[in-house]
Structure 1
Amino acid sequence: MSDAAYKDEMDAEAPPVATEDPAPPPRAGADETRGAQPANDQNASEGGLAPVMKPVPRITIHAFCEFPESGSTIQRAGEDRRLAKAHLTVHMGGVAAAVEQYQTASTPNLIIVETSASGNELFSQLGALAEVCDAGTKVIVVGHLNDVSLYREMIRQGVNEYLVAPLKPLAVIEAVSRLYIDPDAPPIGRTIAFMGAKGGVGSSTLAHNIGWSISTSFNEDVVIADLDLPFGTAGLDFNQDPAQGIADALTAPERLDDVLLDRLLVKCTDRLSLFAAPAVLDREYEVDTESCESVIEIVRAGVPCVIVDLPHIWSPWTKKALLAADEVVITAMPDLASLRNTKNLVDLIRQARPNDTPPRIVLNQVGVPKRPEIPAKDFAEAIGMDPALVIPFNPGLFGAAANNGQMLEELEPKGKTSDNLRDLAQMLCGREANAGKARKSFSLKKLFSRKA
């Protein structure tokens, strides 16, 4: 996938922005004019893929609401992973409370104010707020009128963003992100984290094959990051033996740049690269949470898709990497231990990521002869969601692929397992396969010829 096409696709996920905003007159506060149209686009990401947005930097946000519902929504937005670094406080009282507070205190980086006023009263309130705002403070107004002319006038007055109530947490997150993320900065890639409900369920095998499928079936550049440092199998699965890898980056993340990254990555195909684990036991590995986060952020800045292969351990850095991913895939087997652990993981992820797509559950090695199993239907009922994929037990195919250092699609490109993996890959990256699927074209000529 070309860089231009990648950027176009990422830009398409953002809501429309106003294109006729004249430069605002000099005033205190809200020094950069930029905002989304006050249309009801707040549910655009619900029910589909979670939007890929860079985390908002360490800023201070004060919100002043008139209605408890708005305050609760903004508070939930502040708990989202993308606003984790920001410090948010919510107050009641609307614009009047904000004006009163900042008469004796300096203003934060961002003020969110809710108002039900309109017309001259509304702009009188905003004028009073402007009088007490420090230079550089940005302002988001939450109103109750979906009026384009009102929106344009607010932008002329220097308001940075206008949102229409009732709010959704994701709309607040996107609005804040647009104000603090450079629009000319390159897009970031989608991160997909894979974790097994227990050891030996095939999570790494699934992660590697999904990465391969995304790179081959959807023509996307993919990096697979193997974070199981002592026992990682990515090198084996791709028949690679790199001298350097992800451990070198984790030990000195401040040195990681594009040049060093290219040297540490192993190129498996034109579109698939491997950030391999050392998989040796001659030293102990202490992974720092911030180092892991930094390395993943640097990698995702250069490719559309990063597969994060997490080991089955529970530590601060694995938890952080799991919850920070754009998509989460949990691989389980149809047994009691997997059921318990899957339910615990699902409950944690749902609680910590209320504005994101729920985790995808893959039930692997189903139908082992003479082994008592929990039926897939009962498994789904217990965890409260259906598996995204159920993979039948096929030791011949999986064993041959592992021993040969090949992917499943290489051995059996037209098999049911390969088809299912491509379907899951499409679900995770939201793209259609580029091979074997001709699109129907719409022709005005054909339409008119029918009437002739």
Structure 2
Amino acid sequence: MLVTLNVVALVQEDATADQLTEALARVQGIHLGIRHVATGERPRNQLASDEQPDIILLELGGNEAEDLHEVEQILHQTGGRVVVFVICGQSDSFTVRRMLGLGVRRVYARPLEVQGLVLDVIECMSEKRSRVQRARSHKGALTAFVNAKGGSGATTLATNVACTLAARHKHKVALIDLDVQFGAAALGLDLRVGSDITNALFQPERIDPLFLQALMIEHASGLHVLPAPGDLTEVDTIRPGATSALLQAALDLYEVVIVDVPRLFVPWTLEALRMAHPVLLVSQKSLVTIRDTKLLLERLPLNGVPREQIEVVNNRAQSRIASLDIQAMKRTLKLECIHRITNDYATAVAAQDRGVPVDQVNRRSAMTQDIERLAAYLHSSLSGEQVRSPGLWDRLFRRRA
């Protein structure tokens, strides 16, 4: 499970900013914001009154009375819900104890000992991951796929990842096609549709695990699919709570639930995104798609989808029509880690036309292998198993392109 840690550094010296940027850029999941504090300016003025980052790195100037007051004010302003690290010159032990007594997590002396800071930040990352896991009250694991731009490939990825989790990792998996009007999951697996998702969404009072199980279609891989009707069914009458009731019943019945969510952000689709962990936002390396990806990364948290639950998938990587490289994509989206699915148009189209998973068309395709890696990543998040056994440094700082 990928968790993002939002770190705000209030620094006075350029050297400190450079050290922090270089050290924390290597830690997976860190979003670092550097804010320079001018001489005589109060660092807390650089924070919005309602701002709640995960960590504040506060560099102090050396006036102990003013520094203690500033620390106290920042801790008060953030309500004790933010981890505060302090960087300062050589302070006496009494001042350091006062800061720690006020609630500062750790005080670092200049010159900054970077390795210790990195380990402390990684510990904060682990603490946040544990909090997020404890907050998940449902029994199964719910992953949502949604296109950042229409046609980015979310349905193909959702379908194939779900098949891989069922066939290769032997999970009890449900694929729910929430794209009521244009869903194509059943078509992509050559399944004959009888009952469909509207039987549940339009009768939420009937939803329970037994009712849901009766609506499912079983695929040869062992995957259970709740298809969309594949017509222009009216969606305005879907009641609030219908989606969450459906997904909760699925989580009671299955180990893993994969949801293909339409690019339609209304109450009944947002219910699915709020419950999902992770939300896999399927993007591509084109300017328009990345613009929409950035917009969703900014706006979905305002609609109740926590930022740490959203991850980005760079689909059709290495396509000849890509207008940006992966580093430009990461810089624009302010992400260190992006999942990659290699472009293989011929295999994807052949699989869709035949109604089979991509591994039945070309087992050795780079796209097939990337899909299997994405499935293994979700499997490891659920089971706690490592996908591979890298060295310590690689585990701490590995990147996905």
TM-score by length of 2: 0.60
Identical-pair percentage? 22
Q: Tell me how far 1:425 sits from its aligned partner.
A: 1.1
Q: Is the 8 A contact 1:192 1:308 kept in 2?
A: yes
- Native 8 Å contact 2:311 2:338 kept in 1: no
Mapping for residues 388-427 of structure 1, pairs under 5 Å: 388-427=338-377
Q: 1:350 to 1:361 in 2, by over 3 A?
A: farther
Asked if the contact 1:196–1:311 (Cα under 8 Å) also holds between the matched residues in 2, the reply is: yes
Residue range with higher mean Cα deviation, 187-196 or 411-420: 411-420
SS of match in other structure, 2:335:
coil
Q: Which residue among 337, 348, 370 is the counterpart of 2:288?
A: 337
In the alignment, which residue of structure 2 is the partner of 1:377? Answer: 327
Which SS does the other structure have where 1:420 is aligned?
A: helix
State the distance in 1 between where 2:131 and 2:283 align. 35
Q: Alpha-carbon deviation of 1:361?
A: 2.4
Say whether the 8 Å CA contact 1:253–1:295 is kept in structure 2.
yes
Alignment of 1:191-340 (within 5 A): 191-269=142-220, 271-281=222-232, 283=234, 286-340=237-291
What is the root-mean-square deviation in Å for CA atoms of aligned residues?
A: 3.6
Per-residue CA deviation, residues 181-215 of structure 1 (Å, 9 max, x unaligned), is: 7xxxxx61110010101111111111111111111
Tell me the alpha carbon deviations over residues 339-381 of structure 1, each in whole angstroms, 9 at most, x when there is no partner. Answer: 111112223456756584541322326423xx46122221111
Counterpart selection for 1:73 from 81, 98, 108: 81
Change (3 A) 1:382 1:259: same
Structure with max Cα Rg: 1
- Offset from partner CA, 1:50-93 (integer Å, 9 cap, x none): xxxxxxxxxxxxxxxxx84894429xxxxxxxxxxxxxxxxxxx
User: What do the CA deviations read for 1:309-356 (whole angstroms, capped 9, x no partner)?
Assistant: 001122122223213211111111221211111112223456756584
The amino acid of 1:290's aligned partner reads G
Post-superposition Cα deviations, 1:241-286, rounded to whole Å, max 9, x if no partner, equal 2211111101111112232212100011363100100112365553
Gaps of 5+ in 2: 1-26, 30-74, 83-100, 106-125, 390-401
Between the aligned partners of 1:386 and 1:402, the Cα distance in structure 2 is: 32
Check whether the contact 1:364–1:391 (CA below 8 A) recurs between aligned residues: yes
- TM-score between both structures, scaled by the size of structure 1: 0.54
Question: Residue 228 of structure 1 aligns to which amino acid in structure 2?
Answer: D
Within-5 A mapping of 1:428-447? 428-430=378-380
| Mapping for residues 90-129 of structure 1, pairs under 5 Å | none
Q: How many residue pairs are counted as aligned between the two chains?
A: 276
Tell me the distance in 2 between the aligned counterparts of 1:254 and 1:361. 35
Give ranges in structure 1 of 5+ residues lacking alignment.
1-45, 49-66, 75-115, 117-143, 145-166, 182-186, 440-452
Q: Deviations over 1:387-409 (max 9, x none)?
A: 53333432211111000001111
Question: 2:139 pairs with 184, 188, 199, which one?
Answer: 188
Counterpart-to-counterpart distance in 2, 1:303 and 1:294: 14
Partner of 2:298, secondary structure, is helix
Q: Does residue 362 of structure 1 match 2:314?
A: yes
